[in-house]
Amino acid sequence: MLRSLTPASWKPLLTAALLCLPLAVQASDRVMHNALEAAREQRWQAIDQSVVNRHVLAGYVEYHRLKASLPGAAPQRVLQYIEAHRDSPLADWMRGQAISAYGRAGQHDRVLEVSAGVPESTERQCHYYTALLSVRPDEAAAGGQDLWHTGRSQPDACDPLFNTLKARGVIGPVETWERMMLAWRNGETGLVSYLGRRLGPAWDKGKAVMERLQSDYTAVTRVPTCIGPDCRGSGALFAAAMHGFTRADSEAALEAWRKISSHLSITDTHRRTIERDLVFYALVRDVRQHRDWVDGVMPRLADADLFELRTRVALGDRDWQGVISWIDRMAPDQRGKARWQYWLGRAQSQLGNANASRAAYQRAASERDFYGFAAADRLGQPYALDMSATRVAPELRQQVANWPVVRRTEALLRIDEPGLAASEWYNAAARASERDARALADYAQRKGWYARLVQTTIAAELWDALPWRFPEAYRTQFMHWGQETGVDPYMLMGIARRESAYNPDALSSAGARGLMQLMPGTAASVSRQLGLADPGPYGVLDPATNIRLGSTYIRDMIQRYSGNRLAAAAAYNAGPHRVDRWLRDNPSQEFDLFVESIPFHETRAYVKAVMTYRVIFESLNRGGNTSGVALLTPQEHQGRYDSTLQARN
């Protein structure tokens, strides 16, 4: 997940932008900036309310004032605020704040008065269902049970709900045992102990069995099969024990399960949970001696992820008849995707069924993705871009600048609140009609808000608006550094688009930064290689610096793999040492088998996305014409994918 940084070095740029505005606007914005800071700190006397009331962002100061008055403020006042700001994220934020404040104060009637259905956060759901206990007890009980059945601690706000459900007998010893088993499965030892202390003597044998299994999973074949009163705790215990056993030793766990399965009286849900784990790990870890059992269980589980995994295993085995068989078992929506139609075409081709192969390739080639393009290459036909026009009527273009959401977004950017500006904009894009969403996208493009433009197309699901989804952001820098490093500039664009969606100040949870998401260590290492100073955590956010360093790094990866961009892209995402190992341990004769054999889902998706995006960028540069655009080079298409791909120095 990416979040935004606002480095201190940007402040002068914002100040310069303000100086281009009329003096009255500059003054009003300065007052609003100070007022919002004061409102956050509840320094009401420091706020010039007369100026604030006339500002387009007045609702933000009012938000903090109303929030501070909760839970004393009447629900009617909250609802009036929500109605007044219904086109802004402020409405949902205020509703959430009111639910939390009223809930903490035990004002249940007020919680229901301001609610608009089940809230999103767990804490607020607990307040909501607690409030429902007296008016819709069955709904409250169902919601409370869902919140209870988790293997992790829940917020303190849930305690009144849980305590009431316990008093009413909705949550009893069986439910406590089930949650205890979920906590064991998740490794939450503190919660296991807490819940265990709340179980009576009838569960002592079950706790003893659990303790034995914690130290020796293989004892699962020797412990009692009836746990708890009327054996009602058996399913939860065996599901938790088998989960740990399967992860620790998949082969032994499967052998144990085949011994005890028929002797257990457990629910279909628990049985399915156990068997899904067993199938998954047997396939991932290639436990071949149990393959017949796996293949016999899978049709009954009818799990989409398992069908995908089993098909990938068949591809790894070059079991082309098996590929066809497992694809045929997929649900129509899954089976119809370009990926699986492509592999159906490959399998039919390998088996000599030319007509069936061509029909499957034709279905795949109608889609705009990696396998759709690969299928088109097999057929020798152009790629299907299915691009929609991005024109917006002139009169609508003139109106959009005066829309409240646009005025608020502009004002928030002027007062250095990019996070709030993004929330305003994306909230509007997600709720807008297609006509209005297109107007917002067009406005973002004209303003040069590339990251906001891309996110607008995502929020509004404008999937075919390719010039907006793949804008010519930072084109000059990509072209320059592509030429300097000898790297295809469209691949550089594809990497940046995949990595950051063109947000120059993006920060990943792992610490990667900027357009091309460079880790600080990588940025420092490449800088030394180029004879440059380490740019540091904020210098690497500079687009030109980030593109230069990222271009150099991907160039090094391309050289490492003898010019092969698929392997290089995989290395950019997962690291070259992993790719070296994959090439050594799982060699492939063809590009598609290499991509499908990548163990990490994220890296498989990354490689396919980058190569797809580069095709789109190059095609857009040709006016949407894919003639002459190639997904792969001849060497990438025909070369071997094994250790020989690694360049020797």
Residue 401 belongs to a domain with what CATH number? 1.10.1240.20
Residue 24 confidence (pLDDT): 75
Same domain, 301 and 350: yes
Out of 341, 372, 403, a domain closes at 372
Tell me the pLDDT tens digit for each residue of 489-504: 999 999 999 999 999 9
Q: Which of 121-135, 155-169, 527-541, 634-648 has the lowest mean pLDDT?
A: 634-648
Q: What angle do CA 599, 603, 605 make, to 5 degrees?
A: 110
Indicate if 452 and 483 belong to the same structural domain: no
458 and 482: one domain?
A: no
Determine, yes or no, domain membership for 236. Answer: yes
Is residue 5 over pLDDT 50? no
β-bridge pairing 2-4 and 506-508: antiparallel
Distances (CA, A) of 514 to 185, 346, 487, 508, 526: 38, 39, 19, 9, 15
pLDDT above 90 (res 589): no
Token pair 């010019």 in the structure block, residue: 563
Please, which pLDDT band fits residue 343 given cuts at 50, 70 and 90? very high
| Dist CA 450 CA 309 (whole Å) | 37
Residues of the chain above pLDDT 90, percent: 94
Co-location of 637 and 500 in the same domain: yes
Whether the pLDDT of residue 407 is over 70: the answer is yes
Burial of 440 (C-beta count, 10 Å sphere; 0-12/13-18/19+): buried
Q: Give the amino acid at 536.
A: G
Structure tokens at 134: 């007296």
Whether the pLDDT of residue 2 is over 70: the answer is no
Confidence at residue 25, expressed as pLDDT on a 0 to 100 scale: 83
Vertex 38: Cα angle to 32 and 40 (nearest 5)? 105
446 in the same domain as 327: no
Nearest CA to 491 among 575, 560, 424, 557?
557
Is 4 in a helix, a strand, or coil? strand
**Do residues 184 and 240 make contact, with C-beta atoms less than 8 angstroms apart?**
yes
Amino acid in position 543: P
pLDDT for position 22: 77
pLDDT over 70 at 1, yes or no: no
CA nearest 239: which of 212, 219, 267, 216?
267
Q: Residue 587 in 3-state DSSP?
A: coil
Look up 308 and say whether it is catalytic: no
pLDDT of residue 21: 67
As a whole number of angstroms, the distance between CA 426 and CA 437 comes to 10
Q: What is the mean pLDDT of the chain?
A: 94
Question: How does pLDDT run across 358-379, given as a tens digit for each residue?
Answer: 999 999 999 999 999 999 999 9
- Residues 181-205, mean pLDDT to the nearest whole number: 96
Flag whether 185 is in a domain.
yes
Span of 14-28, 421-435, 509-523 with lowest mean pLDDT? 14-28
pLDDT reported for residue 648: 64
- Average pLDDT (554-577) is 97
Using omega within 30 degrees of 0 as the cis cutoff, is the peptide bond preceding 71 cis? yes
Residue 634: give its domain's CATH number.
Answer: 1.10.530.10
Does residue 570 contact residue 602 with C-beta atoms inside 8 Å? no
The DSSP code sequence of 29-70 is HHHHHHHHHHHHTT-GGG--HHHHTTSTTHHHHHHHHHHHHT
Burial pattern 356-392, b for ≥16 Cβ within 10 A else e, equals bbbebbbbbbebbbbbbbbbbbbeeeebbbebeebeb
Average pLDDT on 82-100 reads 98
| Catalytic option among 123, 275, 308, 499 | 499
Considering the domain architecture, whether residues 342 and 410 belong to the same structural domain is answered as no
CATH value at residue 239: 1.25.20.10
Same domain assignment for residues 594 and 445? no
Q: Which of 463, 488, 509 is the last residue of a domain?
A: 463
> Is residue 56 in some structural domain?
no
Count of CA atoms in the C-beta half-sphere (13 A) of 96: 10
Task: Give the SS3 label for residue 602.
Answer: helix
What are 347's two structure tokens?
Answer: 């399998």
Alpha-carbon gap, residue 183 to 180, rounded angstroms: 5
C-beta atoms surrounding 556 within 10 Å: 18
- pLDDT score, position 11: 44
pLDDT at 627 over 60: yes
Per-residue confidence (pLDDT) for residue 20, from 0 to 100:
63
Enclosing domain of residue 570:
475-645
Residue 47, domain member (yes or no): no
Three-state DSSP class for 484?
A: helix
Task: Look up the pTM and report it.
Answer: 0.92
Whole-number Å distance between alpha carbons of 365 and 370: 10
Q: Nearest Cα to 369, choosing from 607, 127, 178, 159?
A: 607
Task: Indicate if the pLDDT at residue 14 is higher than 60.
Answer: no
Q: Are residues 407 and 432 in the same domain?
A: yes
CA atoms of 130 and 156, how far apart (whole Å): 12
DSSP 499-555: HHTT-TTEEETT--BTTTTB-HHHHHHHHHHTT----HHHHTTSHHHHHHHHHHHHH
Q: Looking at the structure, do residues 448 and 523 belong to the same domain, yes or no?
A: no
Q: Which of 382, 362, 380 is nearest to 615 (CA)?
A: 382
pLDDT at 10: 40
The Cα–Cα gap between 613 and 491 comes to: 8
Q: Residue 64 and residue 598: Cα distance in Å, rounded? A: 49
C-alpha–C-alpha distance, residues 294 and 290, integer Å: 6
Is 448 in the same domain as 331? no
Give a yes or no: residue 103 inside a domain: no
Cα–Cα distances in angstroms (integers) from residue 281 to residues 216, 276, 326, 489, 587, in the given order: 19, 9, 18, 41, 22
Classify residue 326: in a domain, yes or no: yes
Q: Distances from the Cα of 345 to the Cαs of 305, 331, 332, 341, 589, in angstroms?
A: 21, 18, 16, 6, 17
pLDDT in tens, 251-268: 999 999 999 999 999 999
- Asked if residue 125 is part of any domain, the answer here is no
Q: Which sign does the torsion angle of CA 211, 213, 219, 224 carry?
A: positive
**Contact 31/55 with Cβ under 8 angstroms?**
yes
Q: How far is CA 362 from CA 43, 336, 370, in A?
A: 66, 12, 14
Instruction: Specify whether 446 is located in the same domain as 502.
Output: no
Cα 220-224-228 angle, rounded to 5 deg: 115
Is residue 635 within 8 A of residue 643, CB to CB? The reply is no
Residue 233 makes CB contacts below 8 A (sequence gap 6+) with: 174, 177, 178, 181, 203, 206, 227
Domains of the chain: total: 3
> What percentage of residues in the chain have a pLDDT greater than 70?
96
For residue 29, being part of any structural domain is answered with no
Pick the last residue of a domain from 372, 403, 428: 372
Residue environment code for 303-338, b if the CB has 16+ CB neighbours within 10 A, otherwise e: beebbbbbbbbbbeeeebebbbebbeebeeeebebb
Structure tokens at 384: 């299907």
Residues 516-528: what's their mean pLDDT?
95
CA atoms within 13 A on the CB side of 306: 22
Residues 102/71, Cβ–Cβ less than 8 Å = yes
Residues 423 and 482 occupy one common structural domain: no
**Structural contact between residues 36 and 420, judged by C-beta atoms closer than 8 angstroms:** no
**The amino acid at 54:** R
